Amino acid sequence: MFTGIVERTGKILSLTTPAGEAGSLMSSITQLIVDPGKGFETKLGDSVAINGCCLTVTSNKMQLLAFDVSSETLARTNLGRLGEGQEVNLERALKLGDRLGGHLVSGHVDGLGTVQHIHKQPGGWELSFSLSRELGRFVIQKGSICLDGVSLTVNSVADHEATTVAQVMLIPTTVSLTSLKSLVEGQFLNIEVDAIGKYVERLAAPFQR
Q: Are residues 85 and 136 in the same domain?
A: no
- Mean pLDDT for 38-49 is 96
- Res 54 pLDDT > 90: yes
Q: Are residues 32 and 75 in the same domain?
A: yes
Structure confidence by residue, pLDDT tens digits, 119-142: 999 899 999 999 999 999 999 999
Q: Are residues 80 and 120 in the same domain?
A: no
- Res 19 pLDDT > 80: no
Full domain range(s) for residue 14:
8-92
- The pLDDT of residue 17 is 75
In a domain, 120, yes or no: yes
Q: Are residues 72 and 119 in the same domain?
A: no
Residues, the chain, total? Answer: 209
Q: Could you tell me the pLDDT band of residue 28, with boundaries at 50, 70 and 90?
A: low
Q: Are residues 37 and 77 in the same domain?
A: yes
- Mean pLDDT for 148-159 is 97
- The pLDDT of residue 6 is 97
Q: Are residues 200 and 115 in the same domain?
A: yes
In percent, the amount of the chain with pLDDT more than 70 equals 94
- The pLDDT of residue 20 is 58
| Segment holding 133, helix H or strand E | helix 133-136
In a domain, 99, yes or no: no
- Res 100 pLDDT > 90: no
The enclosing domain of 33 has a CATH number of 2.40.30.20
Give the domain-ending residue among 92, 127, 158: 92
Q: Are residues 134 and 73 in the same domain?
A: no
The rounded radius of gyration (Å) of the Cα atoms in the chain is 17
In a domain, 1, yes or no: no
